[in-house]
């Protein structure tokens, strides 16, 4: 007896079953690779050995095949040796002779007067010449891919810094003098400092002194209330300090990689307090610190449940009011995405846009690009897939390596060899209070924005449609900082090419954080500023630098004046802080609960 052939429905169910089994098999095979990569990441600190190997081989093979470059390096080595020998001989007759090479700007390892005595002067000069030679070795090798060249150069710098005479107690004259003064007690104090730091690191506790800077107690103390909360944000509305306020409120969107209170540090350097004192109703997002359960949060969740949810709450409290929106770092990138989507959809909710050290074009992202390529992203992706998030210590390690002299070696010398500690201050304590990044969002961010540059290219999708920055017509204000290793100012400057609106661009002194936290009265501050109107010709960064006017002082005052020019002349009575009748009752005092999450 023969069985009847399967019906059309049976065949369809059979094909679906086969497809499910194939998918499960593929996922199982992929999981094996991910587990292997996650395990490898534990031993490499998240760095891809494959990426490093590819960079090294690219450099080494091309260098081996370039006899002209080899001859050039040999010639440079002989000339540098002659310079060093000549300098050593001249110092015998004239100890205060000018050095034959000076450190790079910002390198203060050999700035102390003790380094001008022999033999320490000879050691420092030899190290700097060797450092310069290795820069020649790792650069301009014919045929090497630029990214690989930068990776090899970076690794060479890290290795050289390990052997700097400033890091060795036997070749550092400052340490030797300190040991002579204290009878060697500096090494005992250094051992105690190392033991205490190690205990805190293993216990997951903050650095020494950070416990004296607690949000709500002596930082993040500007009075206000949490007026909205969802799974991702708390929205803080700050209490007014002036009898009347501008009609348009300000919404601050900080980066979710950091706690928001960098913009509300101590009372004397709080940007939030400054804006409230200028007569603005200020709202600020405080992001939740995600954990493994939040692994599937995407950039779209941060836009919708973050920026859009905050704007909806402000609209409920202050109906009919347009908003001055300001975004810092990644918060500025997110704000640009949200503004582009609103412009595309014809939503006229924003009175102005401000971008603080925020990139929108990632074609030249600076030194962070060292850690961004397909192999490295795969390693990070597997590490985050395994844990559900990117931990704060992994991000901190990458940032510290970018400034290893300032953040690693100088601390080692000061705390462990000199036996001294630099006093903790508010910005340093905040820097230690970092956050995690959910798996899906961070993977999207690194791939779509950093690697593929979708936002600047008009390919970034919001709601199934591209969100093009070119649709933005809102007057904008952008701030970049001179020594920014996270968002280099030339990269931030590319905003000129991306939005079709009046843009006031500011380049201020300082770095990514200290340049933004630059209150009026802070000594030694300056900035350049220039307005590009909608129809003006775009200037390149070097042309802009020559044309921009330099001013002394804080850029905050220029921003306040610009905000005033973008606001209506109407002054109104301060709104109530939260409005229960409108669904935005005051839930708790600022700084709220999310900022306290560990």
Active-site residues, by number, are 329
CB 574 within 8 A of CB 244: yes
Residue 174 phi, psi dihedral angles, 5° rounding: -65, -40
How many Å apart are CA 376 and CA 386, to the nearest integer? 16
Tokens of 231: 């799974």
CB 487 within 8 A of CB 515: no
Place of tokens 């070749």: 171
Residue 279 Rama label (left phi>0; alpha psi -120 to 50; beta): left
How many Å apart are CA 572 and CA 570, to the nearest integer? 6
Q: Which helix (H) or strand (E) holds 356?
A: strand 350-356
CB 418 within 8 A of CB 177: no
DSSP state of 264: S
Q: Which helix (H) or strand (E) holds 272?
A: helix 271-277
CB 316 within 8 A of CB 583: yes
Pick from 445, 231, 232, 457: which is nearest to 333 by CA? 445
Residue 73 phi, psi dihedral angles, 5° rounding: -65, -40
Place of tokens 């310069």: 132
For residue 4, list its beta bridge partners.
none
Is residue 440 reached through a cis peptide bond, with omega within 30 degrees of 0 on the bond before it?
no
3 state DSSP class of 425: coil
Strands (E), 424-546: 437-438, 461-462, 465-466, 476-481, 503-508, 526-532
CA-to-CA dists, residue 474 to 298, 536, 572, angstroms: 26, 16, 23
CB 481 within 8 A of CB 525: no
Tokens of 102: 């000076």
DSSP states of 212-250 as a string?
G--BTTTBS-S-EEEEEE-SSEEEEEEPP-SSSEESS-E
CB 269 within 8 A of CB 519: yes
Cβ-based neighbour number of residue 270 at 10 Å = 23
CB 415 within 8 A of CB 421: yes
Cβ-based neighbour number of residue 362 at 10 Å = 26
How many Å apart are CA 79 and CA 77, to the nearest integer? 6
How many Å apart are CA 284 and CA 271, to the nearest integer? 11
How many Å apart are CA 596 and CA 598, to the nearest integer? 6
């Amino acid at each position: 007896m023969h069985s009847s052939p399967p019906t059309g429905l049976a065949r369809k169910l059979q094909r679906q079953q086969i497809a499910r089994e194939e998918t499960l098999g593929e996922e199982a095979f992929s999981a094996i690779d991910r587990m292997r990569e996650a395990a490898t990441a534990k031993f490499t600190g998240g760095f891809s050995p494959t990426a490093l190997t590819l960079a090294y081989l690219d450099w080494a093979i091309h260098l081996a095949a370039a006899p002209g470059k080899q001859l050039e390096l040999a010639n440079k080595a002989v000339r540098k040796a002659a310079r060093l020998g000549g300098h050593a001989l001249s110092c015998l007759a004239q100890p205060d002779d000018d050095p034959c090479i000076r450190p790079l700007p910002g390198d203060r390892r050999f700035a102390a007067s003790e380094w001008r005595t022999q033999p320490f002067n000879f050691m420092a000069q030899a190290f700097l010449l060797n450092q310069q030679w290795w820069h020649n070795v790792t650069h301009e090798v014919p045929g090497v891919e630029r990214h690989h060249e930068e990776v090899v150069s970076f690794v060479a710098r890290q290795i050289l810094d390990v052997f700097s005479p400033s890091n060795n107690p036997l070749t550092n004259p400052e340490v030797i003098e300190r040991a002579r003064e204290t009878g060697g007690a500096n090494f005992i104090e250094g051992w105690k400092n190392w033991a205490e730091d190690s205990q805190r690191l293993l216990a997951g506790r903050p650095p020494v002194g950070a416990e004296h800077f607690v949000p709500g107690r002596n930082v993040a103390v500007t009075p206000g209330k949490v007026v909205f909360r969802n799974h991702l944000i708390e929205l803080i509305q700050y209490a007014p300090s002036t009898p009347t306020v501008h009609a348009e409120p300000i919404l601050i969107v900080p980066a979710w990689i950091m706690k928001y209170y960098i913009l509300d540090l101590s009372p004397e350097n709080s940007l939030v307090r400054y804006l409230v004192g200028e007569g603005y109703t200020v709202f600020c997002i405080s992001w939740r610190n995600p954990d493994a359960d939040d692994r599937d949060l995407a950039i779209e969740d941060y836009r919708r449940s973050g920026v859009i949810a905050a704007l909806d709450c402000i609209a409920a409290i202050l109906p009919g009011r347009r908003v001055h929106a300001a975004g810092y770092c990644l918060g500025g990138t997110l704000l640009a995405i949200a503004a582009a989507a609103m412009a595309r959809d014809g939503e006229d909710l924003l009175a102005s846009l401000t971008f603080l050290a925020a990139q929108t074009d990632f074609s030249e992202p600076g030194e962070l690009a060292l850690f961004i390529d397909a192999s490295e992203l795969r390693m990070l992706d597997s590490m985050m897939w395994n844990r559900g998030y990117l931990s704060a210590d992994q991000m901190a390690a990458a940032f510290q390596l970018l400034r290893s002299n300032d953040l690693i070696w100088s601390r080692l010398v000061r705390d462990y060899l000199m036996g001294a500690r630099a006093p903790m201050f508010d910005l340093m304590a905040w820097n230690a209070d970092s956050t995690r990044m959910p798996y899906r969002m961070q993977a999207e961010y690194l791939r779509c924005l950093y690697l593929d540059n979708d936002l600047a290219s008009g390919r970034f999708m919001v709601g199934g449609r591209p969100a093009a920055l070119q649709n933005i017509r809102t007057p904008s204000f952008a701030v970049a900082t001179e020594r920014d290793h996270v968002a280099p100012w030339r990269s931030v400057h590319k905003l000129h090419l991306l939005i079709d609106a009046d843009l006031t661009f500011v380049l201020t002194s300082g770095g990514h954080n200290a340049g933004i936290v630059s209150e009026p009265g802070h000594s030694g501050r300056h900035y350049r500023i220039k307005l590009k109107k909608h129809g003006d010709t775009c200037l390149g960064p070097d042309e802009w630098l020559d044309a921009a006017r330099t001013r002394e002082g804080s850029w905050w005052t220029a921003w306040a004046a610009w905000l005033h020019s973008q606001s209506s002349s109407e002054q109104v009575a301060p709104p109530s802080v939260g409005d229960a009748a409108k669904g935005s009752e005051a839930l708790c005092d600022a700084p709220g609960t999310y900022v306290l999450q560990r």
